[in-house]
């Protein structure tokens, strides 16, 4: 076995330079290298990895490393997400109302250096089941549409105790949800503590 060190040529390929002078070109993300062992730093300061190779092994050809895709959302949505940063709602709740992935909200918020304590749930029952703002919103929508308790419990993964708590606090909690929706959708007239998402 010979120990090789990685470097990058001008084409952007990773190369493993064998001690006896043989060059093995590897178009691979370092993390994908099955021979990866311990990290070291090149002259550029970029961390790569040491690698052990069999003397007569052939070059490994795998796809080059891929960059994380850039998340593209409408400007109005980005502005709305920025506006609600100072509220205590979680990325998951914001994402539910905007119908996007939580990672979209987290990406917009990632530029902020101040940290806000997020409230991940509103109600909790004796079995430690929890109901978030998005879950409460679903309860209120289902109630207005005449959905059965059994169906609501299934949709929200909750319990009858949680439904009762949410219903008893509808005036206060519902008003908070409507305020959030007003900020997220400034061009809409919000009259319910939900946006119709349930058939």
In terms of C-beta density within 10 A (0-12 exposed, 13-18 middle, 19 or more buried), how is residue 134 classed?
A: buried
pLDDT tens digit sequence for 37-89: 444 333 333 444 444 444 444 444 445 555 555 668 899 999 999 999 988 89
Q: What is the separation, in whole angstroms, between the first and last Cα of the chain?
A: 63
Q: What does DSSP assign to residue 27? A: B
Residue 166: half-sphere exposure toward Cβ, Cα within 13 Å: 32
Beta bridge partners of 17: 5, 23
Question: Mean pLDDT in the chain?
Answer: 75
Which of 42-46, 76-80, 127-131, 150-154 shows the lowest per-residue confidence on average (mean pLDDT)? 42-46
Residue 120's pLDDT band, with cuts at 50, 70 and 90, is confident
Give all strands (DSSP E) within 31-171, no chain letters.
50-53, 123-124, 130-131
């Amino acid at each position: 076995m010979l120990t090789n060190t990685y470097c990058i040529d001008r084409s952007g390929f990773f190369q493993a330079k064998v001690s006896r002078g043989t060059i093995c070109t590897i178009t691979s993300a370092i993390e994908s290298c099955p021979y990866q062992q311990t990290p070291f730093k090149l002259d550029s300061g970029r961390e790569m990895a040491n690698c052990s190779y069999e003397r007569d092994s052939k070059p490994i050809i795998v796809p080059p490393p891929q960059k994380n895709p850039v998340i593209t959302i409408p400007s109005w949505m980005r502005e709305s997400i920025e506006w609600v940063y100072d509220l205590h709602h979680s990325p998951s709740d914001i994402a539910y109302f905007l119908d996007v992935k939580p990672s979209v909200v987290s990406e917009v918020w990632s530029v902020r250096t101040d940290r806000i304590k997020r409230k991940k749930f509103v109600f909790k029952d004796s079995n430690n089941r929890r109901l978030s703002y998005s879950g409460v919103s679903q309860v209120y929508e289902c109630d207005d549409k005449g959905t059965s308790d059994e169906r609501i419990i299934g949709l929200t993964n909750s319990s009858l105790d949680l439904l009762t708590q949410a219903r008893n606090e509808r005036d206060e909690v519902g008003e908070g949800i409507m305020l959030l929706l007003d900020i997220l959708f400034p061009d809409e007239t919000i009259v319910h503590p939900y946006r119709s998402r349930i058939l």
